[in-house]
Chains A and B, each alone.
Chain A
């Protein structure tokens, strides 16, 4: 069986961690061909060729593929689909935008956010905000799947796959890119960080979110947030952890001023060690915490930052 894996490429650069985790999931199903698509994607293709377990890399470069617009990217994948039994990607927002479109064009169902591979046709995926896990067997000839990266280890390096170029499909010309608003940060990326410190509504303001950031920087951590903190403007949208935000599973997750709604737990309950700091001893976050501290965060967080 042959697997086509859409690499995560941002501005010409390979998102190695997400792509390598999807490679681990994909290897279980057959030979993996990675597709690196973008306005420039050659460097990303070269980087993907070094991932252990990658058999071949296809590079597609075209202006229409520059910002991962759904329509031209899906058209490209569909033009290549005939050679593959599985078409997969890490479950990033880019892939979630494109892959259901690919599936519909192929008249097959998509399997979103798969968290486990049982066999080449059968996959596990969380449903109901992770309150249940469904095992589904695909009856379709081509399987289109996005993999939840937090549940797979990244494949190592050491590969030396051959790199070929392929041409873009005709751009349907239905949409155009206007702008990206991406905040540059020196902190680790949220979904691949070993430590995450998240703040919730309890933090109370954008200014006081600095307390969370200071603790994060002391731990070399990424910063996360609850939906309430993002909705209130304390933190940007790309920090949201949860059912509809990012799913993380770091070695250490510190939840500060977060009550622990199921929609938040959906994004962090597979973390190895969970610490909760909350002044309400009844807060549901304590039910999933390994270490709970019932305290006012405005005292506890600075004290913790100093003590570390």
Chain B
């Protein structure tokens, strides 16, 4: 079975985000960028399926700016076999919407014919939590979202999902789109020899136009602002002082 993993280049999760003063967006120039952490978990899961003999090829796909090459190389260094970069924007500040990404992925999938798509449940930049579900809808496939456990069982996948009430286990027909949550696995670090090897792995470059997909946004960004800040608080000296402050504030 071939596994396809979409990966997104996003601001590193440790970076403090700076909103531009003119309200036009978030400053991404000269900022550390990384693989979206959820996508890293998806890549790791695909590698584990391959190691377990349940997958035979892992194709990683990124849609965005040309710099996403680095993102794909990271996934190749972890253990993916082949990469496809779909150039869809020139400016690093352009965020291609999940609907357009899903449409491009659907076209890639028509050509690649994978048995499973493993995607991160959300990207930590736009926090939209949508691409996997949208892709599944466009393909007419089943979906298993927010997975914390995944088992391939013949032509079905058993997915344990993290939901508001606890955990839900479902069985989905393959091919399926499974979106992964934090506790599915802990991604490996790429070793230096594997980073070197990854440089020689195939990376195909395409454009959104090659797939005939219109990526113009459906959501016009009116402005981007700083969230409300909280007034400074105080440090109390003791448990008793804390209790009396809470009583004064009417909180207990």
Interface flag for B168 (CB, 8 Å)? yes
Residues on the A chain within 8 Å of B242, using CB: 275, 291, 293, 304
Query: Is A104's CB under 8 angstroms from B99's CB?
Result: yes
A101: contacting residue among B143, B171, B183, CB under 8 A? B143
Known: A100-B133, A243-B127, A308-B243. A131 touches B142 (CB 8 A): no
Residues on the B chain within 8 Å of A109, using CB: 97-99, 217-219
Query: Is A294's CB under 8 angstroms from B220's CB?
Result: no
Interface flag for A1 (CB, 8 Å)? no
Q: Which A-chain residue is minimally distant from B168 (CB atoms)?
A: A180
Residues on the A chain within 8 Å of B158, using CB: 178
Interface size on A, residues (CB 8 A): 89
Of B1-9, B11-19, B200-208, the one touching chain A: B11-19
- Kindly supply a per-residue 1/0 record for chain B positions 227-252, scoring 1 wherever the CB is within 8 Å of any chain A CB and 0 otherwise: 10011011110111011011001011
Interface flag for B29 (CB, 8 Å)? no
Query: Is B219's CB under 8 angstroms from A136's CB?
Result: yes
Interface flag for B209 (CB, 8 Å)? no
Known: A275-B246, A286-B235. A180 touches B230 (CB 8 A): no
Of B53-61, B69-77, B144-152, B190-198, the one touching chain A: B144-152
Interface flag for A80 (CB, 8 Å)? no
Query: Is A128's CB under 8 angstroms from B11's CB?
Result: yes
Known: A133-B225, A304-B243. A100 touches B129 (CB 8 A): yes
Interface flag for A20 (CB, 8 Å)? no
Q: How far is the CB of B84 from chain A (nearest CB, A)?
A: 21
Of B43-51, B86-94, B107-115, B118-126, the one touching chain A: B118-126
Interface flag for B26 (CB, 8 Å)? yes
Interface flag for B169 (CB, 8 Å)? yes
- Measured between alpha carbons, how far is A300 from B173 in the docked complex, in Å? 52
Query: Is A101's CB under 8 angstroms from B134's CB?
Result: yes
Interface flag for A236 (CB, 8 Å)? yes
Interface of chain B, main secondary structure: mixed
Query: Is A112's CB under 8 angstroms from B128's CB?
Result: yes
Interface flag for A117 (CB, 8 Å)? no
Residues on the A chain within 8 Å of B116, using CB: none
Interface flag for A155 (CB, 8 Å)? no
Known: A112-B128, A288-B230. A132 touches B249 (CB 8 A): no
- Measured between alpha carbons, how far is A112 from B130 in the docked complex, in Å? 8
Query: Is B146's CB under 8 angstroms from A93's CB?
Result: yes
Residues on the B chain within 8 Å of A272, using CB: 251
Query: Is A307's CB under 8 angstroms from B243's CB?
Result: yes
Q: How far is the CB of B18 from chain A (nearest CB, A)?
A: 9
- Measured between alpha carbons, how far is A111 from B98 in the docked complex, in Å? 10
Interface flag for A207 (CB, 8 Å)? no
Q: Which A-chain residue is minimally distant from B142 (CB atoms)?
A: A174
Residues on the B chain within 8 Å of A246, using CB: 164
Query: Is B124's CB under 8 angstroms from A243's CB?
Result: yes
**Which chain A residues in 269-308 approach chain B with CB under 8 Å?**
269, 272-275, 281, 286, 288-295, 300, 303-304, 307-308
Interface flag for B212 (CB, 8 Å)? no
Known: A100-B134, A238-B165, A275-B246. 9 other contacts (CB 8 A): A104-B134, A109-B99, A111-B219, A172-B142, A180-B165, A182-B165, A191-B164, A272-B251, A293-B238
Interface set of A (CB-CB < 8 Å, partner B): 10, 67, 69-71, 74, 92-94, 96-105, 107-113, 122, 125-140, 172, 174-183, 191, 219, 227, 230-231, 236-238, 243-244, 246, 251-252, 262-263, 269, 272-275, 281, 286, 288-295, 300, 303-304, 307-308
22 A-B residue pairs with CB within 8 Å: A69-B170, A70-B145, A93-B163, A94-B163, A104-B99, A105-B137, A131-B227, A132-B224, A133-B225, A137-B219, A138-B219, A172-B140, A175-B142, A175-B143, A175-B144, A230-B183, A231-B182, A243-B124, A269-B227, A274-B230, A288-B230, A292-B234
Interface set of B (CB-CB < 8 Å, partner A): 11, 13, 16-17, 19, 26, 97-99, 102, 121-122, 124-138, 140-146, 148, 158, 161-173, 176, 181-183, 217-227, 230-231, 233-236, 238-240, 242-243, 245-246, 249, 251-252
